[in-house]
Amino acid sequence: MDAQQLNLIYLIIAAAIATFATRVGGYVLITQLKHIPPRVEAALNAVPAAVLTTLVAPAFVYGGYDVAASMLVAFAVGLRFSTLRMLLVGWVAVMTIRHLIL
Amino acid sequence: MNRDEFREGVRGGFPIMVAASPFGALFGALAVDNGFSIADAVFMSAAVYAGASQMVGIELFGNNVQPWLVVLSVFAVNFRHVLYSASIAKHIRHFTLVQKFFAFFLLIDPQYAESERRAERGLPVSFSWYLGFGLIIYFPWLVNTAIGAVFGQLIGDPKAIGLDVLLPIYFLGLVLGFRKRDRFLPVVAVSAFASVAAMHFVGSPWHVSIGALAGVLLAACLPQEPGRSEMPAVEKEA
């Protein structure tokens, strides 16, 4: 096993520990303290959407017009339907643009 | 161990397992596409067991983001579990320490939601039921990861078959899943703008931390509305 491979294993283990910490954390917290300051709670509440947005917006802006177009189509689908349908429709859209239109 | 309750859990978890299967396979294929081996992909599914954060992890890893930032992002995406484990505490107080360990390891979104629902209906949240529900989702998740990874290795150019758009669209779906939360629009708008600007002026991977920080700070600074619900809402991961 080379060093790079080993680093990936360590990375996965660290990610697993971080994930487990979130799954135990609330239990530990709730048994320790009764009240979380509202601003802290609001900040924590915003974390997932904020992080995930940073993986979406740059791909949309810098990913090329084919990616942007299929993301727009998927967005419209996602307002009504499941993520699985978004993926399916978005994939069909990008394949159509790449192989049929170009 | 109560066999009937275990079986009841398996029956309850089955549809979730079916629904999650394509995502397990998708994760496997994209992980291989981002430089993972099949074994790495299965190991990550087995050890982390949180689909959305696994996707985030491989995306950042594939972009050579610093390891600490990968782990921090996984932590951030999984942060909602803190609310789940806080809220579920009253239902699993009777578990032994070892049982609690397994319970928390398996605490994914549907596991939380179904446990709350079960308690709400006055049914016992027994360890047998909990384990049956969890394991019928856990093991197929690993198998599907492996299947996806094997297929991923057969794929030459991911762009030619449109694989590259799947992650951004998947993340877009996750973002949309949070749209009922307070301050969703301002947070997303600010994070989007900040991440695009950071990508342009600073470069990858800093767009992730800069963009996320901007949204989180905004949420903390906006006027707070009183009277938030006690029980955390379950976001659908997939």
Q: Are the Cβ atoms of B192 and A30 closer than 8 angstroms?
A: no
Of chain A, the percentage scoring pLDDT greater than 90 comes to 58
Structural domain span for residue B187: 178-225
B79: Cβ–Cβ under 8 A, 6 or more apart, which residues? A22, A44, A47, A48
- Higher pLDDT pick, A5 / B184: B184
The pLDDT mean for chain A works out to: 89
The verdict on B81 and B128 lying in the same domain is yes
In this prediction, residue A51 carries a pLDDT of: 82
Cβ of residue B156 closer than 8 Å to a chain A Cβ = no
B165: nearest CA in chain A? A67
Q: Do A55 and B56 touch (CB under 8 A)?
A: yes
Considering the domain architecture, whether residues B107 and B196 belong to the same structural domain is answered as: no
Q: Is the Cβ pair B170, A38 closer than 8 Å?
A: no
Q: Which domain holds residue A2?
A: 1-34
State whether residue B142 sits within 8 Å of chain A by CB.
no
Do A49 and A97 belong to one domain?
yes
Subunit contact B44:A15, Cβ cutoff 8 A: yes
Write out chain A residues lying below 8 Å of B73, CB-based.
51
pLDDT digits (tens, 9 = 90+) for A23-47: 999 899 877 876 778 887 888 778 7
Q: Please indicate, yes or no, whether residues A29 and A57 belong to a single structural domain of this protein.
A: no
Q: Are residues B136 and B214 in the same domain?
A: no
Residue of chain B minimizing CA distance to A15: B71
How far apart CA B41 and CA B18 sit, in angstroms, is 20
Q: What is the ipTM of this complex?
A: 0.85
Q: Is residue B162 part of a domain?
A: no
| Structure token digits, residue A36 | 């979380």
- Is the predicted pLDDT of residue A68 greater than 60, yes or no? yes
Give the model's pLDDT for residue B127: 97
Q: Is B196 on the interface with A (CB under 8 A)?
A: yes
Instruction: With respect to residue B165, please indicate whether it lies within any of the assigned structural domains.
Output: no
C-alpha B80/C-alpha A45 separation (Å) is 8
Q: Report whether B233 contacts B112 (CB < 8 A).
A: no
Dihedral sign for Cα B201, A90, B65, B221, please: positive
Using CA atoms, how far apart are residues A49 and A9, in angstroms rounded to an integer?
Answer: 28
Backbone angles phi, psi at B70, to 5 degrees: -60, -50
Looking at the fold, whether B75 and B123 belong to one and the same domain comes out as yes
Task: Report residues of chain B scoring pLDDT below 70.
Answer: 225-238
Å between A43 CA and nearest CA of chain B: 5
**Residues A26 and A54 reside in one and the same domain:** no
Tell whether the model's pLDDT for residue A17 goes beyond 90.
yes
Question: How would you class B236 by CB atoms within 10 Å of its CB: exposed for 0-12, middle for 13-18, buried for 19 or more?
Answer: middle
Contacts B235 to A, Cβ<8 Å: 48
Q: Which residues from chain A sit within 8 angstroms of residue B220, using beta carbons? A: 39-40, 42-43, 46
DSSP summary character for residue A81: S
Q: What residues of B are in contact with residue A14 (Cβ under 8 Å)?
A: 67, 71
Residue B170 lies in a domain: no
Contact B184, A45 (CB under 8 A): no
